[in-house]
Amino acid sequence: MRKVGIMGGTFNPIHFVHLLLAEAAYEQYHLDEIVFLPSKRPAYKPLSELVEEEHRFHMIELAISDNSHFSVSDMEFHREGNTYTADTLLELSKKFPDTEFYFIIGGDSLFGLEKWSRPEIVMEKAHIVAAQRDDKDNERLVKKMMELNEKYKAKIDLLRVPMMEVSSRMLRERVKEGQSIRYFLPETVRSYIIQHGFYL
């Protein structure tokens, strides 16, 4: 069985924490590859600040170009309506039956996982890897992980990674306020954002 990590999200824009999570999961779980899967239209986020998918896709390409075990897929762009992880994992597991998928999420997302569309399918079709954001929430995170593993017969484990406090929302706000985003994300991505006037 191949072991493939999935990094989902809007990547609006992609930044160093996304890349750090992906690299940590690749190493810790001995994965063969990490695939970045940008969402077309997530059900849980407003579309007002969402840059068009072709630009978000290209920013990911720029960010991962120097890493041979990272790739990006536009499969969610071809689906009509809202984008749901359950649909993506069903499609992937059908297309690649010889692959075990590791879905990488931030630890905070674990607490809302049961509110996702068909969470039982998400937990059936993928090994969930939840990143620890900081030590103070570790006990609470472990408790939630064990609860979900028992309730859904899920495979959820923690991803141990030094975390930086960076978010795409924070970067969009910094651009809007005329503040620097240098060193928060790859220089190629920063240049692309400035060149196209995104998030102003």
Domains and CATH numbers, the chain: 2-196 (3.40.50.620)
Give the separation between CA 107 and CA 158, rounded to whole angstroms. Answer: 8
The pLDDT tens digits of the residues spanning 75-127 come to 999 988 888 999 999 999 999 999 999 999 998 899 999 999 999 999 999 99
Query: Beta strand 33-38 with 2-9: parallel, antiparallel or unpaired?
Result: parallel
Query: Residue 128 corresponds to which tokens in the numbers above?
Result: 């969930």
Tokens 């896709």 — which residue? 57
**Is residue 10 a contact partner of residue 185, using CB atoms and an 8 Å limit?**
no
Residues 6 or more apart in contact with residue 7 via CB below 8 angstroms: 18, 21, 22, 34, 35, 36, 37, 104
Query: Residue 83 corresponds to which tokens in the numbers above?
Result: 């984008």
To the nearest 5 percent, what fractions of the chain are helix, strand and coil? Answer: 45, 20, 35
Assign 134 a pLDDT band (cuts: 50, 70, 90): low
Confidence (pTM)? 0.93
Give the separation between CA 74 and CA 72, rounded to whole angstroms. Answer: 7
Residue of 68, 81, 65, 83 lying closest to 10 (CA atoms): 83
Question: Helix, strand, or coil here: 60?
Answer: helix
Give the pLDDT confidence score for residue 46 in this predicted structure. 64
Tell me the residue type at 101: F
The pLDDT tens digits of the residues spanning 16-59 come to 999 999 999 999 999 999 999 999 877 666 666 789 999 999 99
Residue 67 has pLDDT above 70, yes or no: yes
E strand segments, the chain = 2-9, 33-38, 70-72, 99-106, 127-131, 156-159
Q: CA angle at residue 58 from 31 to 167, to 5 degrees? A: 70
Give the separation between CA 194 and CA 200, rounded to whole angstroms. Answer: 9
- CA 3 distance to own-chain centroid: 17
Ramachandran region, residue 13 (left: φ > 0; alpha: ψ -120 to 50; beta: rest): beta
Question: Helix, strand, or coil here: 163?
Answer: coil
Q: CA angle at residue 15 from 83 to 186, to 5 degrees? A: 135
